[in-house]
């Protein structure tokens, strides 16, 4: 792959690509290679499978004949937008071309997930992936299988999955459909993640009308391994066995209901009436995780690949292509849960909880005995050959004979037209500075409370309480902290921090700057806990790439992220693209979600957001300018989106992070909290509530601007008594403006000369919103 | 002599690792036990950890009670071996009829992960000896089917015989009868607890270290035996 956006699991791109039709329409006897050669003119349903005429013609060129039904199935899924990144690949290259020089990447572009060296012999792998469309159709199972898919990506790298996070976007919180989708999605994540035994340590939840009908469900997983445990998704060694392990293969996710209702399963058998949703079995996934880790530890795995979107088709072609080998597979050896499936359906099935391993013949017996110990089904379905061809048989007849690279690596690539829409000018000209502002103390107070009560800023306990945050016993920080922090080594305290951020409003106003602001926010969040940011993952959620305006947003976002990562010195290690998030001609706001991974040399030095003690000096770091374009205040108070987002100041972000990291390492801080949505107003309220301690602050200028501006590169800190001077010197050394605002203490949030709010009132307002909406 | 505490791993056990860590941190030796082995390895006490044994399919704990290791555990528990079931382990002990009552779906129908305050009612079991009766401790609740139920006669009997181990003291988070968070067998050696003490053994990774008391208790009780 060209840019680290790998091609396998998880559905979330084009619905057409994710749910291809069956290629067997109209054929009764099994379509074989010999038959294909003999019947070159037989029509095939390539369009229904999402392949264009030129793409179909290219397949016949590659093969020198028409494809068999099974081959057509392989190409249709492997050349789908979802698997081939045909609209995005050209642009994603920038992540490699502009990658900052860094020694931390052990594996990056093109693997299932990037692998980062965090020191002491440990490596961490992490990735975020979309499951948007399935989660709208069937919220519970769609979200559940999203967790399952990303966990297998991490497992395929050789790592033990140790935590998950989720970035979620829904339509208006009060909309009836949101009450269907949100509880289902949260329930699905809760069900799968809790049963799998992975702590959920953070994420995001935001609402906007643009996500009505197009909710975003982006799931992130992080895994830990020793350097030497890194696994490759590559088939090598002629004669090595191809083993499929995990769940049986069923008709899940093969095609939409309309397709399934066709004659594709032969004569209208009842098995054709299955829903196209994938159904998750987290218990099987838990067994699969433990089983694979034991197989890895025993040295029994030459190569391994997870099965996600495009199932067996994807795993076999990618393993063979990566190893530059051939492979012979008996599709009739695949264990089925529906005996009516044919070879093309087996190839395309997205049945969950499956992995594919390459195993030396002499090791197969030991391999099988470990699988048996974990009650995990494992079946030899083929072997590695030296032919350079991917060959598959069905009850002895050859149904596939292709060069694997032609499906895995040499898919079509498009340079789609991208144009900045003219409407962008009017949007930018609609400056938020013209909006009416609260002028009196009483109105400022009311504005703070209404922003704090808005669904975007409201307390998220209703959601996060449904997730197990404690399992595995290494969770140091979780929601509502700025970043999740997981301990990696109990002896040394080595650990990692992870945050995801994305702001669709900012990106709508300026996709280049908005994406950099998302990166900057995640980077800042990680640093606020005291961690050193190391690497980046991303999930790029956009409308249709066939719309030049959307394509312009996409190219700007990718360029912004690549430039931002270079400036901050953190490489992109991988990610995922989700296009076609739109209903009719109305696309979602461009919503790149950026995840930043940081390292803690000792998690005991982590800094929480809460003002947990009285008598700490509150210091605002950074510069506050009147920047309200795309702000939460503008949305809550005026339903307004226009103007420019806050200025991106990556140099200042870098310096701010340096201060936060050094201050945490020296033990100077009682608390630190990044400023983002809702500005200082929301940050102070959250820090007071999280630590159950009030504060009194004096604002050195226009109170409204200080409270609600969303200027970037800022954080609020509570400095431990006695550390004030050292902290001031540290800020000076890094050139970070530091303004003393006041001190922690009491049970009231007070802005001197303006207003005061008791923490009980603050808590009631903050915590009442989501339970009020969702029960 | 160092006390050896077995921790059973069933398929789908999740907090087995954490239970072993808690035993070690308290100063004991944690001995992994496997569901498929009819062997308790001569341990002094046994913990059934939290998780979703067998995926909680059919009913929580319903399949695990038939695991080979349970064929050894049940008679040993009847003979006095100290056994602690945490969360899913509690459900298994109820299914195995080593403890009265059952655990059902939470009142709010949702999984609840929350730090909860418990009041220790019975400090005379081998698992609670280090606490004082009436002592309040903070531990972690994380379950979807944690509502304790029993018929009224059983509840009256539990109260009369001092078998109520602990109750929720900061609101009833799941609709448990009489706010019961844990119960003990009549003999007191078998104990079930819905919240997780093993996730409250270190302020770095939990709400505090109150949970360590359960693990310290069994070490002291076993060493004295």
pLDDT for residue A594 is more than 80: yes
Question: Which one has a higher pLDDT value, A102 or A573?
Answer: A573
What pLDDT score does A11 carry? 36
- Which of B 85-144 lie inside 8 A of A, CB atoms? 110-114, 140, 142, 144
pLDDT for residue A274 is more than 60: no
- Which of B 3-22 lie inside 8 A of A, CB atoms? 11-12, 14-15, 17-18, 21
What's the average model confidence in pLDDT over A201-225?
96
What pLDDT score does A111 carry? 65
Within this chain, do residues A350 and A206 fall inside the same structural domain, yes or no? no
Q: Contact B21/A476, CB-based, under 8 Å?
A: no
Instruction: Please state the domain count of chain A.
Output: 2
What residue spans of A454-578 are helical by DSSP H? 461-464, 504-509, 511-528, 548-568
Within this chain, do residues A518 and A639 fall inside the same structural domain, yes or no? yes
What A413-419 contacts at long range (C-beta under 8 Å, 24+ apart), as own/partner pairs, is A413/A84, A413/A86, A413/A89, A413/A90, A414/A86, A414/A87, A414/A90, A415/A90, A416/A87, A416/A545, A416/A546, A416/A548, A416/A551, A417/A548, A417/A551, A418/A548, A418/A551, A418/A552, A418/A554, A418/A555, A419/A548, A419/A549, A419/A551, A419/A552
What pLDDT score does A745 carry? 97
Q: Is residue A208 part of a domain?
A: yes
pTM of the predicted structure, to 2 decimals: 0.94
Q: Read off φ and ψ for residue B46, nearest 5 degrees.
A: -135, 140
* Selected residue of B204, B209, B211 to mutate for chain A interface (largest A Cβ count, 10 A): B204
Within this chain, do residues A256 and A394 fall inside the same structural domain, yes or no? yes
Q: Contact B14/A374, CB-based, under 8 Å?
A: no
Asked if B167 reaches chain A (Cβ–Cβ under 8 Å), the answer is no
Asked if B204 reaches chain A (Cβ–Cβ under 8 Å), the answer is yes
The mean of the pLDDT values for chain A is 91
Last residue of a domain, one of A354, A378, A408: A408
What pLDDT score does A422 carry? 94
Per-residue pLDDT tens digits for B44-54: 999 999 999 88
User: In terms of residue numbers, what domain contains B219?
Assistant: 4-224
Within this chain, do residues A457 and A559 fall inside the same structural domain, yes or no? yes
Q: Is residue A277 part of a domain?
A: yes
Give the 3-state secondary structure of residue A238: coil
Within this chain, do residues A624 and A719 fall inside the same structural domain, yes or no? yes
Per-residue pLDDT tens digits for A661-699: 999 999 999 999 999 999 999 999 999 999 999 999 999
Percent of chain A residues topping a pLDDT of 90:
83
- The dihedral region occupied by B215, where left means phi > 0, alpha psi between -120 and 50, and beta the remainder, is alpha
- Which of A 470-499 lie inside 8 A of B, CB atoms? 470-476, 487
pLDDT for residue A100 is more than 80: yes
pLDDT for residue A270 is more than 50: no
Last residue of a domain, one of A408, A442, A473: A408
Q: Give the confidence band of A48 by pLDDT, cuts at 50, 70, 90.
A: confident
Q: Which residue of A has its CA nearest to B52?
A: A195
- The dihedral region occupied by A741, where left means phi > 0, alpha psi between -120 and 50, and beta the remainder, is alpha
pLDDT for residue A562 is more than 70: yes
Rounded to whole angstroms, what are the CA distances from A446 to A439, A453, A679, A687, B105?
11, 10, 15, 19, 40
**Closest approach of chain A CAs to the CA of B112, in angstroms?**
5
Q: Which residue of B has its CA nearest to A283?
A: B55
What is the domain-level CATH number for residue A586?
Answer: 3.90.650.10
Q: Is residue A454 part of a domain?
A: yes
pLDDT for residue A405 is more than 80: yes
Within this chain, do residues A192 and A249 fall inside the same structural domain, yes or no? no
Within this chain, do residues A463 and A516 fall inside the same structural domain, yes or no? yes
Within this chain, do residues A606 and A685 fall inside the same structural domain, yes or no? yes
pLDDT along chain B (225 residues), means of 10: 93 96 97 96 97 83 88 97 97 96 94 97 97 97 97 97 97 97 97 98 97 97 89
Q: Which residue of A has its CA nearest to B204?
A: A476
**Closest approach of chain A CAs to the CA of B62, in angstroms?**
15
Instruction: Please state the domain count of chain B.
Output: 1
pLDDT for residue A174 is more than 80: yes
Within this chain, do residues A217 and A343 fall inside the same structural domain, yes or no? no
Asked if B55 reaches chain A (Cβ–Cβ under 8 Å), the answer is yes
Last residue of a domain, one of A361, A386, A408: A408
Per-residue pLDDT tens digits for A420-452: 999 999 999 999 999 999 999 999 999 999 999
Cα separation, B176 vs B168, in Å, equals 9
In the set A19, A91, A131, A766, the catalytic residue is A131
What pLDDT score does A282 carry? 94
pLDDT for residue A260 is more than 90: no
What's the average model confidence in pLDDT over A728-753?
98
Q: Contact B55/A281, CB-based, under 8 Å?
A: yes
What pLDDT score does A512 carry? 98
Q: Which residues neighbour A457 within 8 Å (Cβ) at sequence distance 6 or greater?
A: A451, A632, A677, A678, A682, A766
What's the average model confidence in pLDDT over A94-100?
91
Q: Is residue A194 part of a domain?
A: yes
How would you list the strands of the sheet with A326-330, edge to edge?
A: A303-306, A354-359, A241-246, A378-385, A326-330, A390-394, A397-402
Query: Judging by DSSP bridges, how do beta strands A326-330 and A378-385 pair with one another?
Result: antiparallel
Per-residue pLDDT tens digits for A496-555: 999 999 999 999 999 999 999 999 999 999 999 999 999 999 999 999 999 999 999 999
What pLDDT score does A127 carry? 94
Within this chain, do residues A539 and A661 fall inside the same structural domain, yes or no? yes
Q: Is residue A316 part of a domain?
A: yes
Nearest C-alpha neighbor of A223 from the set A464, A571, A498: A498
What pLDDT score does A27 carry? 44
What's the average model confidence in pLDDT over A153-176?
96
Q: Is residue A92 part of a domain?
A: no
pLDDT for residue A240 is more than 80: yes
What pLDDT score does A309 carry? 79
What's the average model confidence in pLDDT over A373-382?
97
What pLDDT score does A63 carry? 96
Within this chain, do residues A224 and A236 fall inside the same structural domain, yes or no? no
Rounded to whole angstroms, what are the CA distances from A224 to A485, A487, A490, A535, B38?
13, 10, 13, 15, 33
User: In terms of residue numbers, what domain contains A333?
Assistant: 15-87+232-408
In the set B35, B87, B94, B199, the catalytic residue is B87
Q: Is B131 in contact with B137 (CB distance < 8 Å)?
A: yes
Q: Give the confidence band of A16 by pLDDT, cuts at 50, 70, 90.
A: very low
pLDDT for residue A622 is more than 80: yes
Q: Give the confidence band of A261 by pLDDT, cuts at 50, 70, 90.
A: very low
pLDDT for residue A407 is more than 50: yes
Asked if A468 reaches chain B (Cβ–Cβ under 8 Å), the answer is yes
Active-site annotation holds for B198? yes
- Counting one residue from chain A and one from chain B, the pairs whose CB atoms sit within 8 A come to 83
What's the average model confidence in pLDDT over A368-383?
97
Q: Is residue A711 part of a domain?
A: yes
Nearest to B114 among A286, A465, A475 (CB): A465
What is the DSSP track for A381-433? EEEEESSS-EEEEETTEEEEEE-HHHHHT------------THHHHHHHS-GG
What is the domain-level CATH number for residue B115?
Answer: 3.40.50.880
Within this chain, do residues A585 and A480 fall inside the same structural domain, yes or no? yes
Per-residue pLDDT tens digits for A757-770: 999 999 999 999 99
Nearest to A197 among B14, B21, B112 (CB): B14
């Amino acid at each position: 792959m060209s840019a680290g956006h790998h091609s396998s699991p998880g559905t979330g791109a084009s619905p057409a690509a994710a749910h291809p039709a069956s290629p067997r329409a109209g054929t009764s006897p099994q379509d074989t290679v010999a038959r294909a050669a003999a019947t070159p003119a037989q029509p095939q349903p390539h369009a229904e499978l999402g392949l264009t005429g030129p793409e179909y013609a290219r397949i016949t060129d590659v093969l020198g004949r028409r494809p068999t039904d099974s081959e057509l199935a392989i190409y249709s899924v492997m050349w789908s937008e979802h698997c081939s990144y045909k609209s995005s690949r050209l642009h994603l290259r920038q992540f490699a071309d502009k990658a900052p020089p860094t020694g931390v990447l052990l594996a990056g572009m093109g693997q299932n997930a990037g692998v980062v060296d965090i020191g002491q012999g440990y490596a961490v792998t992490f990735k975020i992936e979309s499951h948007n469309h399935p989660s709208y159709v069937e919220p519970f199972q769609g979200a559940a299988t999203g967790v399952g898919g990303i966990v297998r990506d991490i497992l395929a790298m050789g790592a033990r999955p140790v935590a998950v996070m989720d970035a979620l976007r829904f339509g208006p919180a009060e909309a009836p459909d949101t009450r269907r989708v949100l509880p289902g999605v949260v329930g699905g994540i809760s069900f799968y993640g809790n049963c799998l035994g992975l702590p959920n340590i953070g994420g995001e939840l935001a609402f906007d009308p643009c996500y009505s009908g197009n909710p975003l469900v982006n799931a992130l997983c992080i895994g830990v391994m020793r350097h030497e445990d890194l696994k490759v998704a590559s088939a090598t060694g002629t004669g090595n066995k191809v083993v499929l392990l995990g769940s049986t293969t069923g008709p899940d996710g093969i095609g939409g209901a309309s397709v399934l209702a066709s004659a594709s399963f032969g004569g209208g058998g009842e098995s054709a009436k299955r829903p196209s949703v994938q159904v998750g079995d987290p218990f099987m996934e838990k067994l699969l995780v433990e089983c694979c880790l034991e197989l890895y530890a025993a040295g029994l795995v030459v190569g391994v690949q997870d099965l996600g979107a495009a199932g067996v088709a994807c795993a076999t072609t990618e393993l063979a292509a990566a190893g530059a080998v051939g492979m012979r597979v008996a599709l009739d050896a695949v264990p089925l849960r529906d005996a009516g499936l044919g070879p093309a359906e087996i190839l395309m099935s997205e049945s969950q909880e499956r992995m594919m391993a390459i195993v030396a013949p002499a090791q197969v017996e030991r391999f099988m005995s470990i699988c048996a110990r974990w009650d995990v089904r494992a079946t030899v379905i083929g072997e590695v050959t030296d032919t350079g061809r991917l060959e598959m048989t069905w009850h002895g007849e050859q149904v596939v004979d292709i060069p694997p690279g032609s499906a895995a690596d040499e898919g079509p690539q498009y340079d789609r037209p991208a144009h900045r829409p003219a409407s962008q000018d009017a949007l930018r000209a609609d400056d938020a500075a013209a909006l009416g502002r609260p002028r009196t103390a009483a109105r400022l107070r009311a504005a703070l409370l209404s922003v704090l009560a808005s669904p975007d800023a409201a307390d998220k306990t209703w959601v996060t309480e449904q997730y197990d945050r404690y399992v595995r016993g290494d969770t140091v920080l979780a929601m509502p902290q700025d970043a999740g922090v997981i301990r990696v080594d109990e002896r040394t305290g080595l650990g990692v921090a992870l945050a995801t951020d994305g702001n669709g409003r900012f990106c709508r106003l300026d996709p280049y700057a908005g994406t950099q602001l998302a990166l900057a926010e995640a980077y800042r969040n990680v640093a606020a806990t005291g961690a050193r940011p190391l690497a980046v993952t991303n999930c790029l959620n956009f409308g249709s790439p066939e719309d030049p305006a959307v394509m312009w947003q996409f190219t700007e976002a990718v360029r912004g992220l690549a430039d931002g990562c270079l400036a901050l010195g953190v490489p992109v290690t991988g990610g995922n693209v989700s296009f076609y998030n739109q209903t009719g001609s109305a696309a979602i706001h461009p919503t790149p979600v950026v995840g930043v991974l940081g390292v803690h040399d000792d998690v005991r030095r982590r800094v929480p957001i809460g003002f947990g003690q009285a008598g700490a000096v509150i210091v605002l770091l950074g510069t506050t300018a009147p920047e309200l374009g795309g702000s939460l205040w503008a949305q809550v108070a005026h339903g307004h989106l226009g103007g420019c987002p806050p200025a991106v100041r990556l140099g200042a972000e870098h310096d701010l992070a340096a201060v936060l990291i050094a201050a945490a390492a020296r033990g100077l801080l009682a608390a630190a909290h990044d400023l983002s949505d809702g500005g200082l107003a929301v940050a102070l309220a959250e820090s007071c509530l999280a630590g159950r301690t009030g504060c009194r602050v004096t604002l050195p200028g226009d109170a409204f601007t200080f409270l609600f501006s969303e200027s970037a590169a800022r954080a609020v800190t509570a400095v431990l008594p006695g550390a004030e001077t050292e902290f001031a010197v540290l800020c000076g050394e890094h050139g970070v403006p530091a303004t003393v605002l006041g001190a922690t203490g009491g049970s009231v949030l007070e802005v001197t000369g303006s207003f005061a709010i008791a923490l009980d009132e603050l808590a009631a307002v903050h915590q009442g919103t989501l339970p009020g909406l969702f029960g | 002599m160092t006390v050896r505490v077995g921790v059973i791993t069933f398929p789908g056990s999740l907090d087995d690792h954490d239970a072993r860590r808690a035993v070690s941190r308290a100063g004991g030796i944690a001995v992994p036990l496997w569901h498929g082995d009819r062997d308790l390895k001569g341990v002094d006490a046994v913990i059934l950890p939290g998780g979703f044994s067998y995926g909680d399919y059919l009913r929580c704990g319903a399949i695990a009670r038939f695991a080979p290791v349970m064929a050894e555990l049940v008679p040993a528990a009847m003979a006095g071996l100290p056994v602690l079931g945490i969360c899913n382990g509690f459900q298994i002990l109820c299914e195995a009829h080593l403890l009265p009552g059952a655990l059902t779906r939470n009142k709010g129908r949702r999984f609840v992960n929350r730090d909860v305050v418990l009041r220790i009612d019975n400090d005379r079991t081998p698992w609670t000896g280090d606490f004082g009766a009436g002592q309040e401790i903070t531990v972690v609740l994380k379950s979807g089917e944690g509502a304790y139920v029993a018929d009224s006669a059983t509840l009256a009997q539990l109260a009369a015989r001092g078998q109520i181990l602990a109750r929720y003291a900061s609101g009833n988070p799941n609709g448990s009868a009489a706010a019961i968070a844990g119960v003990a067998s009549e003999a007191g050696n078998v104990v079930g607890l819905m919240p997780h003490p093993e996730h409250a053994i270190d302020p770095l990774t939990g709400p505090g270290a109150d949970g360590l008391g359960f693990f310290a208790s069994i070490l002291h009780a076993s060493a004295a035996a």
